[in-house]
Structure 1
Amino acid sequence: MSQESGVATTRKWAIVAAGVGLVYVLVRNRQSLLGPLRRVWHYGSPLPQRHIEVLNSVQETTTQWVLNELKNHCQTFKVLGFDCEWITVGGSRRPVALLQLSSHRGLCALFRLCHMKQIPKGLRELLEDDAVIKVGVAPQEDAMKLSHDYGVGVASTLDLRFLCVMAGHKPGGLGKLSQTHLNYTLDKNWRLACSNWEAKELEPKQLNYAANDALVAVAIYQKLARDLEPKYFWQRRSLNDDSLRNKFEPFLDVDFTKGFSLSLTGSGATRSKSCGPSKSKKWLPKKQPFRQMGTRSKDFYDNCLLQAPDGELLCTIDRRKASWYLNQNLGTQISEEPFTVRLNFEPAGRAVGDVGRYYQTPKENQCVVCGDRDAYIRKNVVPREYRKHFPMVMKSHTSHDVLLLCPTCHQLSNISDLRVRTKLAVQCEAPFKYGDGSVKFRDDPELKRVQSAGKALLYHGTKIPAAKVADMQRTLLEFYSDQTEVTEQLLRQAASVEYRVENADYCQHGERVVQQYRDKFGGLVELERLWREHFLHAMQPRFLPELWNVNHNADRLEVRASEGRVDEADLLVAGLDAKVKVI
């Protein structure tokens, strides 16, 4: 080979290597390099080919045409932007005046319900179609208003903030989400938001404001959905809304804010249509009603081995428990790696079948959903508020239902649990937060007025207008009917009145649910199965421990029953078949 040929070959391979390196750099840094360009391509104008239809009457031919178009659009992409507008008069909310629905193709229908006075049949069918997801920020609030005002149910609402959390973004209001994810600024002037939505004719600014809220909701959904299904920039396949629905289903019709603190930086506040200039303030998350669990960065599973006296493996345990057997002279250390303890006494039972093998199998220190190993929190698949009311035989050996989740997955799992709690509250007549029977004590309005009047007159009587003083004194004398005048002694007696009284309808949610499943719904193994199946469906874990299954406790109790180590009464509470005989 000549020198020139060798140089040419070297140059050729150098060019190839440089090209491969350039492609590698582009692929590796595609997000940072293509992010700004992608925003120009897709989000420079997030509302292309916008088509707004204002519908004032049920009888209009346009109304039926628009409904047919929306339904046709939902055949290919089953998502609609959803929003409502109303006015407040004298501090009281009027019925919903305007309903906005928009499709991914840019069609936005503005239904002026204040003129229609009813929900058209086709619109009712679309709202009640649970196959079509209605997206927005706090859509459940609008759905409740429509239900209250017009008797229509809105099925499959999805708060966009759930998608933010799932995709690792900060949740926020619609304006913030639009700016962050679409680079598009919504007009959120409070005067426009609180304008007269019942006017005979809506102004162009009102139409633009109302339509954009619904259209932007669909665009944000599409962007966040793509974040959840990342693709290389050369891939052009469209979103698969059926596969996405499987991810979102646990969060459908769930209020983002009620009962949970997501502990995220940034705003997660529910949208507010307060009529007045907005003031900058930090969102204060609601107090979390459940025990806050700390994040662990060190290993949770030590996978030490516990053996029977003859050397048969019983189970894996943590180092602390293994050391306890040694300190109590109940066992002898056999080896250091793996740390193994052999018992000095015969255990009550040994490993049998898949139940026994589950406890023998080492467990991985990772999130069972995504596989993350950096930090994790223990997740009680069957929540403790129910488990603590189980019989003792079903409260022991519950490690099967304690799984490790990373903070993000733990957060999402807790939110998805709200849907099951809500269903159980209805099924078992056991309100868990907002029902009449959810509080042990309630405020008696009359007693509260008496105490308030007594304190006000006792400590601030000289500063209160005479008319108000007379009104308060009248309240006290009506309550203390045996008194003819208001004395200091009477004021002190009134000021010390206890207005919190015991609620006769109170029930503890977890206890009531356990009681109902024990007596009416097939036993406690059915309640366990319900929660485990929900966890599998909602979180779709890919790294569950080997042999983990939804019928684990039922199988374990049957093994114990065959060995004569469980009472028949406990089997009945569990709901196991009477054919299981206690020896």
Structure 2
Amino acid sequence: MKSPMYDNVFSLDPDGKLMCTISMKKARWYIRKGIAEWCDKDGVKIALDETDAGGTASCNDGVDARYIRLLFKPKGGTYQTEGSLENLYLRTPKQNVCVSCGDDGYHMRHFIVPYSYRNLLTDEYKSHMSHDIVILCPTCHVNCEKMSKKRMRQMEDELRSKRPGDSCCSPVIDDQHLHHVRSCAIALVKWKKNMPHEKVESHERVVREYLASIATRADSKGSLLNKEEELTKFQLQSACGVNYRVKNPEYVSGSELVVQSLNGDPKPIEQFIVGWRNHFVDTVRPKFMPVGWSVDSPVVCGRNSVDIGDDGDGVKRW
């Protein structure tokens, strides 16, 4: 990352009560919209140029901090139970260090739930949810990715084995028409002089029809189809290089297969996310996780974690 992941700007409600820490980008967005103001730690407005690095004040421990006070009352779901882990997570400044080894040098943003899965989940599981995005140094990131990839393959192979014929289904297939276009173009380039006139015309017709189908100008299409000009070397080379390997419409990627198996049901999705959190903790053994972070933290912003295990004793592993 080119800049620190956490800016640790303290966001206060209109009464000056601490709600959470946010990014400098979000803080400045609030300021520009006129719905927040820079303030000190007690919520008292301070004058600050918008081009400044942000309202710098001093915490009790002497560490520089930045504060904004909202000028509107946030909707429900903003406040967590006092003393709860979620409360601590939201309000406590986060260190810009590798959560595994504590290295404070070059960092990488790491998705605890693999990005290829997370990207396919609905927005409620991604919007305003930072629990499953942490910092790792390059070495720890590589080691973690190896274990994550292994688990992903196991999950995907298990699901694919339950789909008849899916194990041998290729992600790409040959488009027979495009393959024919390419073959005709190659033949014209290499052997046109030795080919019968009828075959040359047949091959050129195939190439012309293809080039006309991808032409953007109407006059170019007409010129190709009406044989007004000889096919140029560039046109033939273009047809020779056509990619006839296309996406197989019947193929379902491993990531899609896994997310589809959750059926959009909140309970399996929570089990899935918590399962990846457990995997991360078990494999990385992080020693520097943000204060208040927990495998049982909510998976949706503003929603309390619920017990959905089969025996009611917590979320079961996916």
- State the distance in 2 between where 1:327 and 1:555 align: 28
2:272 to 527, 531, 534: 527
Deviations 1:6-35 (A, max 9, x none): xxxxxxxxxxxxxxxxxxxxxxxxxxxxxx
1:422 to 140, 153, 157: 153
1:340 to 64, 67, 79: 67
**Larger RCO (CA within 8 A; separation ≥ 6):** 2
- State the distance in 2 between where 1:487 and 1:554 align: 64
Shift of 1:400: 0.9
CA gap 1:448/1:384 in 2 versus in 1, 3 angstroms: same
CA gap 1:454/1:419 in 2 versus in 1, 3 angstroms: same
Shift of 1:458: 0.9
- State the distance in 2 between where 1:364 and 1:575 align: 32
Q: Does the CA contact (< 8 Å) of 1:355 and 1:555 recur in 2?
A: no
CA gap 1:489/1:436 in 2 versus in 1, 3 angstroms: farther
- The residue number in structure 1 matching 2:31 is 326
CA gap 1:313/1:520 in 2 versus in 1, 3 angstroms: closer
Deviations 1:294-331 (A, max 9, x none): x33x4321211001111111101122221221121111
Deviations 1:252-302 (A, max 9, x none): xxxxxxxxxxxxxxxxxxxxxxxxxxxxxxxxxxxxxxxxxxx33x43212
- The residue number in structure 2 matching 1:489 is 201
- State the distance in 2 between where 1:515 and 1:366 align: 35
- State the distance in 1 between where 2:198 and 2:13 align: 80
- The residue number in structure 2 matching 1:316 is 21
Q: Does the CA contact (< 8 Å) of 2:120 and 2:256 recur in 1?
A: yes
Shift of 1:436: 4.9
- State the distance in 1 between where 2:189 and 2:291 align: 68
- State the distance in 1 between where 2:284 and 2:11 align: 32
Pairs within 5 Å for 1:238-277:
none
Letter in 2 for 1:537: D
The alignment's C-alpha RMSD in Å is: 3.4
Q: Does the CA contact (< 8 Å) of 1:430 and 1:513 recur in 2?
A: no
Shift of 1:532: 1.3
2:135 to 397, 404, 408: 404
**5+ residue gaps in structure 1?**
1-294, 474-484, 562-573
- State the distance in 2 between where 1:430 and 1:331 align: 54
Higher mean C-alpha displacement, 393-402 vs 339-348: 393-402
Deviations 1:487-541 (A, max 9, x none): 3231124444974455232224323311202368951111112211121122111
CA gap 1:575/1:395 in 2 versus in 1, 3 angstroms: farther
CA gap 1:435/1:377 in 2 versus in 1, 3 angstroms: farther
Shift of 1:449: 5.8
Shift of 1:351: 2.9
Deviations 1:317-363 (A, max 9, x none): 12222122112111121122221111111112223332222111111
Larger C-alpha radius of gyration, 1 or 2?
1
Letter in 1 for 2:109: R
- State the distance in 2 between where 1:322 and 1:554 align: 24
- The residue number in structure 2 matching 1:106 is none
CA gap 1:448/1:325 in 2 versus in 1, 3 angstroms: closer
Secondary structure of the residue aligned to 1:505 is coil
CA gap 1:410/1:430 in 2 versus in 1, 3 angstroms: farther
1:390 and 2:121 are equivalent in the alignment: yes
Q: Percent identity?
A: 28
- State the distance in 2 between where 1:438 and 1:393 align: 32
- State the distance in 2 between where 1:430 and 1:374 align: 43
Q: Does the CA contact (< 8 Å) of 1:518 and 1:575 recur in 2?
A: no
Letter in 2 for 1:361: T
1:517 and 2:262 are equivalent in the alignment: yes
- State the distance in 2 between where 1:555 and 1:314 align: 17
Q: Does the CA contact (< 8 Å) of 1:381 and 1:531 recur in 2?
A: yes
Shift of 1:542: 1.3
Secondary structure of the residue aligned to 1:341 is strand
Secondary structure of the residue aligned to 1:517 is coil
Q: Does the CA contact (< 8 Å) of 1:369 and 1:539 recur in 2?
A: yes
Letter in 1 for 2:290: P
Letter in 1 for 2:145: N
Secondary structure of the residue aligned to 2:98 is coil
Q: Does the CA contact (< 8 Å) of 1:554 and 1:576 recur in 2?
A: no
Q: Does the CA contact (< 8 Å) of 1:430 and 1:507 recur in 2?
A: no
Q: Does the CA contact (< 8 Å) of 2:124 and 2:300 recur in 1?
A: no
Pairs within 5 Å for 1:90-169:
none
CA gap 1:320/1:558 in 2 versus in 1, 3 angstroms: closer
Secondary structure of the residue aligned to 2:249 is coil
- The residue number in structure 1 matching 2:180 is 450
- State the distance in 2 between where 1:576 and 1:308 align: 36
Deviations 1:69-92 (A, max 9, x none): xxxxxxxxxxxxxxxxxxxxxxxx
**5+ residue gaps in structure 2?**
41-55, 58-64, 211-238, 313-318
Letter in 1 for 2:6: Y
2:290 to 510, 534, 545: 545
Shift of 1:575: 6.8
- State the distance in 2 between where 1:460 and 1:493 align: 17
Q: Does the CA contact (< 8 Å) of 1:438 and 1:508 recur in 2?
A: no
Shift of 1:376: 0.3
CA gap 1:488/1:437 in 2 versus in 1, 3 angstroms: same
- State the distance in 2 between where 1:548 and 1:400 align: 7
Task: Give the number of equivalent residue pairs.
Answer: 249
CA gap 1:510/1:575 in 2 versus in 1, 3 angstroms: farther
Shift of 1:422: 0.3
- State the distance in 2 between where 1:316 and 1:326 align: 15
Q: Does the CA contact (< 8 Å) of 2:38 and 2:69 recur in 1?
A: yes
Pairs within 5 Å for 1:285-296:
295-296=1-2
CA gap 1:334/1:425 in 2 versus in 1, 3 angstroms: same
- State the distance in 2 between where 1:412 and 1:443 align: 37
Shift of 1:552: 1.1
- State the distance in 2 between where 1:453 and 1:375 align: 50
